Amino acid sequence: MLKVEPVWSGFSAPSHHVHLAALPGALPGEDDPLPPLVDTSEWSTFKTDKRRKEHLGGRLLLGAAIEGWWRERGFVGRTDELDVVRDEHRAPYLRWRPGVWRQAPLPGVS
């Protein structure tokens, strides 16, 4: 994962993680579990395999970025303990799943 530090005049900028990878070659089968961070109800709304691959690729990269962010800060967590939820404007954000008692902070993902 490549760490990018933008330079801003007079302002401190948050660090950014950039990770590039190809889209997944195959989709999970109908009876296979979905990977962490992929919501079943949202997944079922996609009409084409192309859209499913794009979404799956984005969630896999998000998981890699979160794990890198935690490692860099010495936090402990697992992506299967997280949900990606949307606010009233449909902007995504992370939250711990109900019943998971973690104190590690979560990065903004919008």
Number of neighbours of residue 64 by Cβ within 10 angstroms: 15
19 pLDDT band (50/70/90 cuts)? low
Residues in the chain: 110
Long-range contacts, stretch 63-71, CB < 8 angstroms, 24+ apart: 63/35, 63/36, 63/37, 64/1, 64/19, 64/21, 65/1, 65/17, 65/19, 65/107, 66/94, 66/106, 66/107, 68/1, 68/17, 68/19, 69/17, 69/107, 70/104
Q: Is the pLDDT of residue 105 over 60?
A: yes
Percent of the chain with pLDDT over 70: 81
102 compared with 18, residue with greater pLDDT: 102
Residue (of 53, 49, 78) closest to 66 by Cα position:
78
